[in-house]
Structure 1
């Protein structure tokens, strides 16, 4: 039998799945941890070679697993986190570590595009669909221009971590349209690099990879000069795939109007799939390319948050000194609204809906009634309220949500998932597999002539959660109080 591999290069792990497309069964999988470095406050980096070695080792493990199942690997598709950036020289040697999405050193450059060069910033958002923020490669390049100007001349290419892995496997510098639309440098309509953005960044278009559709294909040829030898057999088809966010929508089955995907991992995101680019008048929502087939384009529009399950981790490690399961159990003993205690969950700055890297968290209305459990409940509710505020922005562009498909690490907690249903007031369905990005990468290439709607119909689901009408009514009141408190802080 044949199988397909989905490779998901995340922030904390490289995950690889081998899937049989006739029944969508995962026959082999692996997950390898990654290390993030923070050499200075606000910096977040990874070593490119460490990422490549993790992918190489993961491929070896999954190839062995597939052989045990007597499966032949036919093709590989890649998913990756957005917004990473590193410089390489003329022979592909890294000149820098990779700056991650969570790296905020380019805050002055993002501020410039919001203030003194606001017209340029607005134009870049309109053409690229990427909100202006320190996370995006555009601003990181401008930071290099201001702080390491020699690097702009030394670097042969500026690429993402996925492009670095792709170069190791193909000896080519290619980027898919999906990853390109997350750079702030790519004209989504013309599907070329956007010259005004390049000028602001201080680079030439030939210092970037060549853009291609997400289903562009290259055969693996380990005999070619520059291609790294791996456990993969020669001739396996390599597809660049797309970004982890848009593939999470496909892999969770979220293609139809009214279906919203909410992912809560370390960070989080709220997304819907649409057929034409969408723009928020105030630049608060992203719009990234997914695919185009049978003359039907697919885009994913939504908003990311910096503050997801990392808030729970903070509670456990810094506030309650408990295991996360204990934290969640304790929170369940407190009523909806945490008896007037509110939490603004901005421990790591914020992307949507604020797009303010300097935003900080706060507890409000603290009084003698409040115990440790109250503080936990209020924090978990604060994360949900922030996601709800993103969904309300999204609904103005795409229409209201009638159902949520949820995934990410938070889905392990039935308490927190039920809270989502009660806060949003709509049913929440969990995917049978929590690896939605890797599954989306597989679905993308499984049948290039089939609509994504039909492919999404192959996705399996697990538990479903219905909203409690009384809880939802209470949460509507508490959310209004939370919004008012947030506005006073801004």
Structure 2
């Protein structure tokens, strides 16, 4: 049986799954972890050699499973985390570690584009659709321009982790439109690098990869370095898109009125629109998915990492015990408010220096209150981002939820009660890999468009809101907003 492999290069893991074109079942699946390094406060890096090793391990395992079962992979498609910056030579060899989205060393450059050079920052956002923040390559490269201009000028290439892998597998320096629109350097309407943004970052066009559509394909280039992947010479590689965009597609959230909420380590809420959208205040991103499909929304730094903080630092117990403890407290946490900004924030504040807080603490509040308020604070923050989204897209009638968060029925039900709309879970939680597979099927003409692709997505449980708890949460959200405005 022929099949397609969808590969998800995430911040925490490299994952892959293989499915036949009818999407009837998962034929093979594998995952391998990747370590994040913090060499200095505010820094977040990864070793590209470890990422490559994890990719090879995952691909070898999936291809071994397929071979043993008599299946053949015809295509491999890529879904990748956004905003990484990696220096490379002209042969694609890494010249240092990859700087990740969560790296905040470029705070000063982002602040400059929001204050003293706000006019330039707004012009760049209008061209690129990427909010100004230390996460974006535009600001990271500007940081390098200020701190080591000689290195910036002399480095032959700068690219993302995807470009590093793509060069190894195809011999080409290429970047898909989706990943490019997340750099802050790509003039989306003209489908080329923005001269305005490059001038600020201090880079030349020849240091950046060639932008191509998300459905762009190349033949796999067998080399001694890549043979351990188990890929065969006749397989076709599809460049794919970013993780946020493909999570929307893989979650079946393409049509108007459907939002996707993802919580992994971080989180995001997004909708799919049919033309580029710009928020005049620069609070929302708008990334290219495919021709006529754009994903608009806002990301938060504070998702599953808050649960990790609660389990490891606040309670020193596992996640299941944390959810059980939170369930003993009524919705709204008896007035206790948690602002979840443990690691700065992207949307809705776009302030890397902001930090979290508990508000309205009084004698009646127990540890269980603090636990529940933390879980509520994560969702309140995402719903505050959704309010910005609604201004442009209209309200969502249903939310498709995915990420590690979706494994907790308690937390998902909390979301439904807060939002007041049904929350649907996908049958598979691997929405990024699934989105990459669906994009391949569209590229190959198996599906006419991404609307048809979304109709192929299978769902699991649906969580309906409790109207009484929804009313309580409406009042609690007002308290939460009042607290946020005090920051």
Instruction: Say yes or no: TM over 0.5.
Output: yes
The match for 1:408 is 403
After superposition, residues 198-347 of structure 1 pair within 5 angstroms as 198-222=198-222, 230-292=229-291, 297-347=292-342
The match for 2:465 is 467
Paired with 1:363 and 1:288, the residues of 2 have a C-alpha distance of 34
The match for 1:33 is 33
1:481 is the counterpart of 2:479: yes
Point out where structure 1 has 5 or more consecutive residues left out of the alignment.
none
The verdict on how the C-alpha distance between 1:425 and 1:325 changes in structure 2, with shifts beyond 3 A counting, is same
Contact 1:79 1:242 in 2 (8 A): yes
The match for 1:80 is 80
1:177 is the counterpart of 2:172: no
Contact 1:107 1:133 in 2 (8 A): yes
Q: Which runs of 4+ in 1 moved over 3 A?
A: 225-230
1:44 is the counterpart of 2:44: yes
CA shift digits 1:85-105 (9 cap, x unpaired): 011123322222100000000
Paired with 1:24 and 1:356, the residues of 2 have a C-alpha distance of 44
Paired with 2:442 and 2:106, the residues of 1 have a C-alpha distance of 40
How many pairs does the alignment contain?
Answer: 484
The match for 1:451 is 449
Deviation, structure 1 residue 229? 6.1
Paired with 1:91 and 1:42, the residues of 2 have a C-alpha distance of 30
Secondary structure class of the residue paired with 1:26: coil
Deviation, structure 1 residue 153? 2.3
The match for 1:439 is 434
Contact 2:284 2:347 in 1 (8 A): yes
Secondary structure class of the residue paired with 1:215: coil
The match for 1:427 is 422
The match for 2:197 is 197
After superposition, residues 51-90 of structure 1 pair within 5 angstroms as 51-90=51-90
Secondary structure class of the residue paired with 2:260: strand
CA RMSD across the alignment? 1.1
Point out where structure 2 has 5 or more consecutive residues left out of the alignment.
none
Contact 1:269 1:302 in 2 (8 A): yes
Paired with 1:153 and 1:111, the residues of 2 have a C-alpha distance of 23
Secondary structure class of the residue paired with 1:405: strand
Secondary structure class of the residue paired with 1:488: coil
Paired with 1:18 and 1:166, the residues of 2 have a C-alpha distance of 19
Paired with 1:472 and 1:335, the residues of 2 have a C-alpha distance of 12
The match for 2:13 is 13
Paired with 1:208 and 1:435, the residues of 2 have a C-alpha distance of 30
1:348 is the counterpart of 2:343: yes
Contact 1:59 1:231 in 2 (8 A): yes
Secondary structure class of the residue paired with 1:299: strand
Deviation, structure 1 residue 227? 6.7
Contact 1:90 1:155 in 2 (8 A): no
Please point out which of 331, 353, 358 is paired with 2:353.
Answer: 358
Paired with 1:308 and 1:276, the residues of 2 have a C-alpha distance of 29
CA shift digits 1:261-307 (9 cap, x unpaired): 00011100000001001111110000000012xxxx10000000000
Deviation, structure 1 residue 226? 8.5
The match for 1:154 is 154
CA shift digits 1:410-448 (9 cap, x unpaired): 111111000000000000000010000010000001132
Secondary structure class of the residue paired with 2:485: helix
Secondary structure class of the residue paired with 2:27: strand
Secondary structure class of the residue paired with 1:335: coil
CA shift digits 1:308-359 (9 cap, x unpaired): 0110110010011111110011000100111111000000100000000001
The match for 2:110 is 110
Contact 1:169 1:228 in 2 (8 A): no
Please point out which of 410, 417, 426 is paired with 2:412.
Answer: 417
The verdict on how the C-alpha distance between 1:262 and 1:50 changes in structure 2, with shifts beyond 3 A counting, is same
